Structure 1
Amino acid sequence: MTPYDKLENKLSWVYLINLIFYVMPLFIVHFALWQYLSMAAALVLFLVCYFWAYRSRRSEMHWPIAGIVLVATLITPVNPGSVSMFAYAGFFIGFAYALPRYLLLMALLIALLVLLELTLTIHWNLFLIMGAPIVLAVSLLGRAEQAKLRHRMAEQQSEDEIKQLATMVERERIARDLHDILGHTLSSVILKADLATKLLVHQQTEAAQHQLSELSQIARDALSQVRQSVSGYKHQGLTAEIAKLLSRLREAGFKAELKGEVPTLDNRRETAVILALTELVTNVMRHSKGDSCQLSFTCKNNILSVCLTDNGSSIVVKEGNGITGLRERLAAIGGSLTTQQTDGFSAAIQLPLQESV
């Protein structure tokens, strides 16, 4: 469960203390047996909807909110302490919705309280007078919780961007190091090789052998330096390339979303995935008529699944436009590529994380 689109539920039990308005009448009013049973059933149903809402994404909270409102409405003629249940509904409305819909739904919720007051015989004169301010006040707490959520999301996005920038800077540093190392080394190799060739032409075998020995040592030193320079780098390439691809999609007007954790791969698989995603993203940018794109990574049973989808209504992906080449490249390392063009474009890469024996 991600904390960035759901409520933090570690204190959800503590917040139930606000049900005191619902429980209090049980100790000061005498009810018939069927009323006790109905109130107990309503409480159970409320708790189901309450924890359902806590475990739901904001976009999915409408069902548990509707359940809470329904339960509270039905139990109000028996126990007007149901106003506390309406308050929880107000909180979830405040948390789940943008301002225009929040205002509309809260107006409807208050109107429901007024309707219950006017149409039912409620044995509490303060049901509406106290209930409406309580529901409104608690809904503002939901708005505050939504603001905290947005702040956390912004902080997380900033951290991700900093990580991506650090990865880019590291790649540039390594590129400069490799250029400096290989530029000097290859110049030395050329000079030594040319000199050894000239010495051999003049039958100066011993001197030529000495130059070749130095050339061999230069190559070994260069190899060691290159290994040191790229140490820790080979598994950063995929993350950085994905960040660039998502950035390209956003610049092209897509709402780009990354799901799952970017895996650590060996160089061969990493290169294959980067090339495949670059080709697929380019096709989406060229042909998709949609405005939303999602890239997801999942690992199960030692198989990496990479899926790129968009919501475009029309996209043309031809085998001759690079897809055939991608399939062949992936097949060489035991992978596969499948595409589908129903309700948008979808491309799925399946790749074993280890060499097949």
Structure 2
Amino acid sequence: MTQDIPNPASKTEDKYAWVYLINLVFYFIPYFIIDMPQWQILLSLAALAPFIYCYFWAYRSNSSRAHLPILAMIAIAIAVTPINTGSLSLFTFAAFFIGFFYPLQKAALALISLIGVLALLNLSLNFDHYYWVIYGAGLIAGVGLFGVIERRRIENLCKQQKSQQEIHQLATMLERERIARDLHDIMGHSLSSISLKAELAEKLLAKNDIEQAQQQLSELNSIARDSLSQIRQTVSGYKHKGLAASVTNLCQTLRDKGLSVQLEGDIPNLSSDLETHLILSLTELCNNVIRHSQAQECSLSFSQNEQQIIIQITDNGQLDNLEQGNGLKGIRERLQQFQGTLSWDLSQQCQFTIRLPQSGMPQR
């Protein structure tokens, strides 16, 4: 193995582990077509407890330790076969994990060996036909192939996440370089001038030329004030990236939380103050979608007419009622400063609507 493969499901998918156990329904088929003694039924049912334990053990293992739960599942399936031929379903679970955790060649050999185990069981138990082996071989090969496909999917997902992390790190490095370059451009000349003026004022004071020294100190004070103003403007620019960039970040945050996000309409050009308050309001609403709505889909739409700008956040979550907490009150207070309003409709979907007058648009 060149790398360790994680468990077959991410944290967001782990809740579906129980759902996959529905395949155990085939384990119970012999109960309805064969007249089995009660002790066989009870014994085969009792075997499910350790098997399910081994299933979750394998489900949360990685490739370096997966052989232990896989072998345990195979051992339980072999032990159950004499009393319940529905054990084929147990073998298929082991086949999936074999296909998932091991490279193709090694997995193929393991699956062939598992089919050989079925053939040996068929001979040792004196089954009257080979349908059990043929059917089991098909299931093991098919489910094992599904495990291989799932492995490839997880590997591609990991590569995409790694690529996104590398892009993010590169963007961070470029942003740091830009900040360093901006600060150097702003402060380099200013600090040189301040140093020169201070040195000149010191020499003038030594010569008792008070008037010229005061002039140099006055110019030094003016340079320092201008530099401070430029720094404040630069830092303010870093903090405020604009509505379009903030909306893009909010959409990505929603997608990272597992929601399907759709952005509609053109993002308007607003005054700086209104943009800041609108960004805070949209951030609060998107955080509410993540925390409270339990939605799978969300859309952000921007539209406008001659009188107003309309911004809507809609998700398919279900809320019977909504209590107006500090977050919604804060949004309304922010919007009221610009004659804006916030409303919501929970009748079919969760829809929050922000309306702003066109006066919020900057003058051209």
TM-score normalised by the shorter chain: which range applies? 0.5 to 0.7
Letter in 2 for 1:33: Q
Q: CA offsets per residue over residues 303-344 of structure 1, 9 Å max, x none?
A: xxxxxxxxxxxxxxxxxxxxxxxxxxxxxxxxxxxxxxxxxx
Letter in 2 for 1:62: H
CA distance in 1 between counterparts of 2:204 and 2:163 reads 61
Q: CA offsets per residue over residues 64-103 of structure 1, 9 Å max, x none?
A: 1111100000111111111111111100000111122212
Aligned residue in 2 for 1:52: 57
Residue of structure 2 aligned with 1:164, choices 159, 162, 169:
169
Give the SS at the match of 2:208: coil
CA distance in 2 between counterparts of 1:155 and 1:229 reads 34
2:30 matches 1:29: no
Assess, with a 3 A threshold, how the Cα gap between structure 1 residues 231 and 66 changes in structure 2: closer, same or farther.
farther
Letter in 1 for 2:73: I
Residue of structure 2 aligned with 1:120, choices 115, 125, 132:
125
CA distance in 2 between counterparts of 1:136 and 1:158 reads 33
Aligned residue in 2 for 1:152: 157
CA distance in 2 between counterparts of 1:219 and 1:65 reads 71
Letter in 1 for 2:62: R
2:20 matches 1:19: no
TM-score of the superposition, structure 1-length normalised? 0.59
CA distance in 1 between counterparts of 2:106 and 2:155 reads 17
Give the SS at the match of 1:118: helix
Assess, with a 3 A threshold, how the Cα gap between structure 1 residues 76 and 15 changes in structure 2: closer, same or farther.
same
Residue of structure 1 aligned with 2:209, choices 201, 204, 208:
204
Q: CA offsets per residue over residues 155-209 of structure 1, 9 Å max, x none?
A: 0000110111011101211221222123211221133124323533453313312
Give the conservation status (yes or no) of the 8 Å contact 1:76–1:122.
Answer: no
Q: CA offsets per residue over residues 24-60 of structure 1, 9 Å max, x none?
A: 1112222222211210111112111111111222322
Aligned residue in 2 for 1:141: 146
Q: CA offsets per residue over residues 102-140 of structure 1, 9 Å max, x none?
A: 122112111111111111134775210111011110000
Aligned residue in 2 for 1:103: 108
* Displacement after TM superposition at 1:214 (Å): 3.1
Assess, with a 3 A threshold, how the Cα gap between structure 1 residues 156 and 129 changes in structure 2: closer, same or farther.
same
Give the conservation status (yes or no) of the 8 Å contact 1:95–1:145.
Answer: yes
Give the conservation status (yes or no) of the 8 Å contact 1:90–1:139.
Answer: yes
* Displacement after TM superposition at 1:224 (Å): 6.0
Give the conservation status (yes or no) of the 8 Å contact 2:122–2:130.
Answer: no
CA distance in 2 between counterparts of 1:221 and 1:57 reads 60
Q: CA offsets per residue over residues 228-274 of structure 1, 9 Å max, x none?
A: 757899xxxxxxxxxxxxxxxxxxxxxxxxxxxxxxxxxxxxxxxxx
Aligned residue in 2 for 1:5: 6
Letter in 1 for 2:167: I
CA distance in 2 between counterparts of 1:103 and 1:228 reads 64
Letter in 1 for 2:63: R
Greater C-alpha Rg: 2
Q: CA RMSD in A?
A: 2.5
Letter in 1 for 2:36: F
* Structure 2: gaps (5+ residues): 239-364
Q: What does 1:178-193 align with in structure 2 at a 5 Å threshold?
A: 178-193=183-198
Give the conservation status (yes or no) of the 8 Å contact 1:80–1:122.
Answer: no
CA distance in 2 between counterparts of 1:12 and 1:117 reads 31
2:177 matches 1:176: no
Between stretches 216-225 and 145-154, larger displacement belongs to 216-225
Q: How many residues align?
A: 230
* Displacement after TM superposition at 1:221 (Å): 4.5
Q: What does 1:1-357 align with in structure 2 at a 5 Å threshold?
A: 5-8=6-9, 9-122=14-127, 125-219=130-224, 221-222=226-227, 225=230
CA distance in 2 between counterparts of 1:200 and 1:177 reads 35
Give the SS at the match of 1:60: coil
CA distance in 1 between counterparts of 2:69 and 2:229 reads 61
CA distance in 1 between counterparts of 2:90 and 2:156 reads 28
Give the SS at the match of 2:15: coil
Letter in 1 for 2:83: V
